[in-house]
Each structure stands twice: as C-alpha cells, then as structure tokens.
Structure 1
Amino acid sequence: MKVGMVSKEIEIIKGHRLDYQLYQYLLQYFSDNELQNLFDAIRRPPNRYYVRVNTMKTSPSDLVNILQEHSVVVYIDETLPEALWFPVKGPNRIPSARKYVLADKRAAESVYMGANLYVPGVVRMDDDIKRGDEVNVIAPDGEIVAFGTAEINHDEVKNVKRGVAVRTLVSVYEVPKIRELHEYAIGLFYDQSLPAQWVAHVLNPRPGDVIVDMNAAPGGKTSHVIQLSGGKAVVYAFDRSENKIREMIESLSRLGMDGLYRVEARDTRFLDVDRPDLVNSVDRVLIDPPCTDMGVRPRLFDVKTMEIVKSTAEYQRQFIKVAWKLLKPGGVLVYSTCTIPPLENEDNIAYAESLGFEIVSINIPNASGGLIDRYRDSVVRFYPHVHGTPGFFIAKLIKPVQMHQ
C-alpha cells in the first residue's frame, strides 16, 4: 500500500487509489488487509463467467448440450438453475509485439478477458500498423492486456465506425467468445453475473403485476423480470439515456421479447410528475441506480473519493423517494447496487425506512449479510474476495398496507 502525501491518496493495490477520507471510512468496516484482498480481487475477473439462460426459448440442460457441441466447457450453477458458468482461464503470459494499439479503459478490460478489440474502443494505433500485423493491446495505464493481429490498417481507424480492430489471440485472462456463437445471436442466453441474476428472483414478479424498472439499461434485469413472469406482467422499462434505451431495445429484441414491455427514455427521479398515472399504481419497483461501481470486475485501475460516494448516495435516494410514491400499499421495492460502501447500500435502506418502507429479510445461498448490525440478517452482500463474484448488494422492502400512526 502506498500513500501519496500531497494528494492524500492511498494506493490500496496497483492502480486502485482512494482518497484518505474514503479509506478511513472503509476502515470502519474492513481491515486494511481485507481492503487489499478486496481490491486485489476486483483487479482480476471472477473464476466463473456467468450467463443467464433465456428460458422463454430453451432450457438450461438443452443449452448446455448445444454449447458442449461447440466444445465449450460449461456448467449449470449449483444454486440458480438458469445460471450457467464458464471457467475463466489465466493469468496467461502475453507474447511481446513491436507494435501497439491503445484501448480505452472499458475496452481494455474486455480485451483483458479475451474479447476482440472493436473499433469504437481504439484510442490510438501506431502509425505503421497494417492489417495482419502482430500487435499488443495496451490499457490507458500502460498495462499490456493482450496479443493479437490487426484487422484494419492504421489509416482506416478514423473512418471505420464498427467491426474488429484487433483479433485477440492471447489475453491475460480468457473466457470463450460466446457472443460470436449462433446461440447468442438467436437469444438463447444473456451475459449476467450471478448476483445480478438473483435480483429478479428477490423481486418475484407475478403474471399481471405492474412492474417498474427505474434504471433499466442495459436490460439484464428487465429481461429477467419478463422471463420469470412468463411475459405476463406489465413491465415498464425506463432509463434517462436514449442511446442506452436503443441498445436495450436491440438486446431484448434478440431475446425475443418484443411487445412484452413498455420502454421510455425518462429521468425517473421525476417519474411521479411525468407519469402521474403510475402513482400508487405499481406492484413492484426495481432500483439498480447509478453507483460508484466499486464491486465491478475486472477493474484494472480506478480512483474513488469520499465526495463521489456521498454525492452518488444522495443521487440514489431520489429514486427511492419516487418509488415510494409509485407503489401501491403492499407494493415491493428491490434495491441493488454493484458497489461496496454502506453509504450507497445500508444507509440508503435506512433512508427508505424513514419514508415508511419496511425491510423484508431475504436469504440467498452462500451470500453474506449486511455490514451494519441492524441489517446483518435482512440484506445480502457478495464480496469479490469472499464469494468470487462481483461486489453486490440486494435489499427488499415493502410499502405497508396500513401506515403506522
């Protein structure tokens, strides 16, 4: 661990820095050694790469048989039957090349796990790169994440908008290129981590329910809600980004879910005003709000501050406040994040209770309880260094039928 005295930043492990205030805050819940183990795990992908079977099109066992015909090693999860996982191989030694392609952070983290580098993720290519050349793909922090061959010339990168820029041959970690399979194209499965797959089960959608997903893009949880309700719930999918909405529509169309949900580009912090017809009319609300992403894996490098955590938590509470207005008495709210700080998790559940929500205890096999004593036995957490998954938080609340006086 390194301390930057001028900036008051703490480097927990290589590439992962916290400001001193956030570091001291997290020490209330984790030892320094635990923090190092946690961020070391975040820097690596999980040992298992998960997808969710689209049971509206196939069964887990049938999809396993199909994938095995492609010589893909795949298993059904021990606790969640529609969850399949692929072993993640690595770390691998990366061969050296004389030419380099710089990828942006998001693309580099995908290539790190074996994905090809696509044109939108290219920041810069060496001037002399030609199609077929051997290249190393490097992340913005200078780390070499893969070895591969260029699929385009250097002078094409500014004019080509789509397609593969570098075909990855050796990456630090490796999962099967399942998105290149025909079975992916026809919507038999959806990439989704194991903790994220539990969210829709906790929500427990039923046919006829009116359900609002307040932060729907990229569509994983929305599509799972549709799947679990057999396409018979009234599902509203909202997101403030029109681009993300377009991508979500394409994704759910691939899954064969056209016409099974209603989608709008809206900032749902104002949904009670923009859609008054939904006030006191919704059976179930899902909030998976923008968060600090401190549980996302792999993350090669990152910097987080206490100010960012505080402002993000305040932003998240605006969705909870509106969810209270949308739900019928007896309605259910499920709140989830892919981050670690209690400010964005347990503290927001305490805020929900201050509005009148009541906590409903949930139990997920192998998961941990809350970080705060009050929620130790009612909410669930997944930790990268404990469960081998992304970091994740899930809580369930109910709007009482009769308000306490």
Structure 2
Amino acid sequence: MFKDKLVYEQIEQTQCNERYTEEDLKYALTYPPRFSIVRVNTIKYSREEAIRLLKEIIEKDYKHRAVFPPKIYYHPVFQDVLVLESLGKLPLSPLSENEVIVDARCGAAVLRGAEIYCPGIVGCPKGLSKLDTVSVYADIKGKCLRGYAEKFTGEKVFLGNGEACVFRHELFGPALSIKGIGIRLYERVFDCPNLNYDIIQDLCFVQNLPSVIASHLLEPLEGETILDMCASPGGKTTHIASLMKNTGQVVALDKTERKIGYIKENCARLGVTNVNAIAFDATKAYDENGSTEKPPFAGEIFDRILLDAPCSALGQRPQLFNKMSCKELKTYPNLQKKLMATAVKLLKRNGRLVYSTCTLTKMENEDLVTWALQNLPLKEVKPSIPGFSSRFNICSSRQNADTDTIGFFVACFNKIE
C-alpha cells in the first residue's frame, strides 16, 4: 500500500476512535466507496428533474453490465445531494487467458466506474482482436513496459472481465493515435457507475460527500464576497456559487492558468456566472496595501473563506499504491500554516473560515487546528447544520453513505477581535 512504511505511522485515529491496522487501511483505501455522490446543479435543475434524468443515464450505462443499476435516492440532510448505492466489491474471478494490463491510474479510474480507454492499456496478448474475451488487471507499481505481450508477473490487481474493442496493432502501432475505448468490461470486481462529464453534462457534479459537506458548512449567503483559496478544479467553487444562487462574488484562486482553466470550464458547463477565477499563489494573496479587486488583496474584505488545503491526500480512494515518502509528508503542515495565516488576514471579523483536507494525518488535521487556535485570532464554531460539530474526521469505516467515503477532515472557525 505505502512505498514508505513510515507513512502509516502518521495516520491518525478514525472517527470511531478505532485504530486501523495496516492491512485494514490497505483494504479500505484499495477500493472506492460503495456509494457514489452527485451534487445536483440547482442552477439549472430541480432534485426531481435530476433524479429522473440520472436514472435514465444510469440505466443506459448498465445495459452493458451483468448487474442491476444502483439505487438512487435523496440524501436525508443535504437537499442538493443524490446518493447512488451500488453493490460494491463482487466475488469475480478471471475468465480468460487473454490478460490485458492497464496502468495504475487507469485501474483506479476503472474501480470508480470509468471505461478503459486505449492510452491506459500498457500490455495485452499478441494477436489480440476485436471482440476477444479478456481479463483486465492493473499494474500497481508501474513495472509493466508498454507493449508487453506476455503474462505479467509483477504485482497486479484484477479489475474485471470484458471484450476488446480494438486490435493489438492499433494500441501499439507506430501511429499510437487511437484514443477511444479499448476494452469494455461487462463484469467488474467493484460495481460503480460511470459518471464522467460527457455522460452527466450540466445535470450534476460528481463529488465525494465530504467535499459537498465542506461547502455547506461554510454556510454562504446570497450577495456575499467569498474566497476559495485553492479552488481547482472548481467543485467546491461552483457549489458555493450555486448556494449563493449566482449572486455576490466567489473569488477562486489557484496557482496556474491550467488549473484556472478547469474552474472556468466547470463554471461554463454548470451555468455559474458569479465566479472570478484568478491564477495566483494563495500564500501571497494578502498585502496590507493590496486591492479589493484583485490579488494581492487588502485585509478583511471577504465574508467567508474556504481553505481546502493542499495535503498528502492519504484519504483518497481508491489507491492501488502510494509513493508518498515520510519526508515529503512532513512538508505539508508548513504550507497549510502559511495559507491559514493568510486566510485570517483576508477574512472579515466574525467571518467564517472552513479548513479541510482529504488526508488522515494528525499533523495536517488536529495538530493544524491546535496551532491555529493558539496563534491566530480564531475560535471554533458549531455549524447550524444538524449533526455536525465544529470539526469532524470522516474515514471509511462503516457501510453507509455518510461514512463509507474518502478520508476527510473539516474544521470550522470564526474570526474574533
């Protein structure tokens, strides 16, 4: 699971105060959550319209599969959330001697419902033809050389059974230009719906539930000025904008024009019009002589700030192999503290600050909160949403939509005098 075994020692306790063994953690993180979450694009659709259209999309997708479509239902607390409950891990075995190897990134996407596209395929048998039955595996450690034609003996994970949509020479020929679906799986080791943007278009946004919760805990109001400090690809940005009903302004920062491009694309797709996306290093976003219009900003101009901080991402699922080193892991808290200190300077007095990460380490979560309360003019606040305290740590421990998620941490603060 972890290339550096010392990383495991940094994993903090779960929400239930139980301690994962390394094997437990490996199992929990190797597979995605059984529950897929979509946030309804309330700018364009009602919940009722969304659930009807989503059912049609899912039923069409599952025509190619050997299992029934997932159940779709409303989340009991969050009115803009639909839950898709799949079967989860299935007791499948390889059916074919035709072994196809995909890279780890492709394998992780497949476990979350994606198709197998040609660029992700790194190995397959000689003479593979269209419609041949195949069994597909992910190369966990990246040891399979592209074009490999024999049985791969390295560490691999079985993904499912399906049929080839292309010939081998199209995958590894001199042109290497083919980009469509290479293998279509009809049996998957983990049942998860395919929810890429081409399928759902402007209907909804695929998000892990904790990411949706983080925006709700910010409790944005119509007409406010809100900052999303590390915003790409724009899931939380567009959610905040929709909660504000396209009023006021959401300033979305990220370091590169490429990342800002993702935010703008998602805003355009979803019909969000109140976002100002700017390529800027958020650690340098404050200047006492700054502007109220563009970064660096003057102090105390934002009503609310979301800091979904860069982190070690150890809570993400699925992870087939994690290359994080303990040395690299320990660089994150310094960056998170810089961002937190900058956020406080930009936040109005009594304004709300939500800090979140998608990781499981104490140094990036609980220790960071302790540091902030000791060094910055902040107090923890309990959100008005029922069932949530000032901070919580979600981890994949129980089989329901609220806890079978990625590992995630959220803390809520108000700025004091």
TM-score range (shorter-chain normalised) is 0.7 to 0.9
1:19 aligns with 2:33: no
The residue identity in structure 1 corresponding to 2:391 is V
| CA drift at 1:107 | 1.7
**In 2, Cα distance between equivalents of 1:114 and 1:96:** 20
Residue 177 (structure 1) aligns with: 194
Contact 2:254 2:279 in 1 (8 A): yes
**In 2, Cα distance between equivalents of 1:180 and 1:280:** 37
Residue 378 (structure 1) aligns with: 390
Cα-Cα RMSD? 2.7
| CA drift at 1:334 | 0.8
Unaligned runs of 5+ in 1: 1-14, 368-376
The residue identity in structure 2 corresponding to 1:358 is K
Farther-moved stretch of structure 1 (203-212 vs 61-70): 61-70
Distance 1:116 1:25, change over 3 A: closer
* Secondary structure in structure 2 of the residue aligned to 1:106: helix
Residue 211 (structure 1) aligns with: 226
Distance 1:339 1:277, change over 3 A: closer
**In 2, Cα distance between equivalents of 1:161 and 1:398:** 52
1:238 aligns with 2:253: yes
| CA drift at 1:74 | 0.8
Contact 1:114 1:172 in 2 (8 A): no
Contact 2:13 2:20 in 1 (8 A): no
Residue 133 (structure 2) aligns with: 134
Contact 1:137 1:146 in 2 (8 A): yes
The residue identity in structure 2 corresponding to 1:385 is S
* Secondary structure in structure 2 of the residue aligned to 1:342: coil
* Secondary structure in structure 2 of the residue aligned to 1:74: strand
Residue 44 (structure 2) aligns with: 57
Farther-moved stretch of structure 1 (163-172 vs 98-107): 98-107
| CA drift at 1:208 | 2.0
Contact 2:28 2:396 in 1 (8 A): yes
| CA drift at 1:221 | 0.3
| CA drift at 1:27 | 7.1
Query: Could you list the per-position Cα deviations for residues 133-162 of structure 1 after superposition, in whole angstroms to 9, with x for gaps in the alignment?
Result: 333332122112122233333343463264
Residue 79 (structure 2) aligns with: 81
| CA drift at 1:35 | 5.4
The residue identity in structure 2 corresponding to 1:361 is K
TM-score under structure 1 length normalisation? 0.83
* Secondary structure in structure 2 of the residue aligned to 1:307: helix
**In 2, Cα distance between equivalents of 1:191 and 1:28:** 28
**In 2, Cα distance between equivalents of 1:358 and 1:234:** 25
The residue identity in structure 2 corresponding to 1:390 is I
| CA drift at 1:95 | 3.4
* Secondary structure in structure 2 of the residue aligned to 1:63: helix
**In 1, Cα distance between equivalents of 2:263 and 2:134:** 33
Q: 2:308 aligns with which of 249, 266, 288?
A: 288
* Secondary structure in structure 2 of the residue aligned to 1:339: coil
Distance 1:233 1:145, change over 3 A: same
Q: 1:319 aligns with which of 335, 339, 343?
A: 339
Residue 340 (structure 1) aligns with: 360
More helix by share: 1
Distance 1:165 1:364, change over 3 A: farther
Distance 1:94 1:53, change over 3 A: farther
* Secondary structure in structure 1 of the residue aligned to 2:397: helix
1:390 aligns with 2:388: no
Q: Which has the higher contact order (CA 8 A, sep 6+)?
A: 2
Contact 1:338 1:390 in 2 (8 A): yes
Distance 1:300 1:63, change over 3 A: same
Query: Could you list the per-position Cα deviations for residues 78-98 of structure 1 after superposition, in whole angstroms to 9, with x for gaps in the alignment?
Result: 221211111222423143333
The residue identity in structure 1 corresponding to 2:396 is P
1:272 aligns with 2:286: yes
- Number of residue pairs the alignment of both structures matches: 374
Contact 1:111 1:146 in 2 (8 A): no
**In 1, Cα distance between equivalents of 2:384 and 2:323:** 33
Unaligned runs of 5+ in 2: 60-68, 141-155, 288-293
| CA drift at 1:398 | 1.9
Q: What percentage of aligned pairs have identical amino acids? A: 30
Farther-moved stretch of structure 1 (122-131 vs 203-212): 122-131
TM-score under structure 2 length normalisation? 0.81
Query: Could you list the per-position Cα deviations for residues 5-34 of structure 1 after superposition, in whole angstroms to 9, with x for gaps in the alignment?
Result: xxxxxxxxxx346524x4445478866555
**In 2, Cα distance between equivalents of 1:156 and 1:269:** 47
* Secondary structure in structure 1 of the residue aligned to 2:42: coil
**In 2, Cα distance between equivalents of 1:346 and 1:53:** 31
* Secondary structure in structure 2 of the residue aligned to 1:108: helix
Farther-moved stretch of structure 1 (225-234 vs 279-288): 279-288
**In 1, Cα distance between equivalents of 2:197 and 2:302:** 38
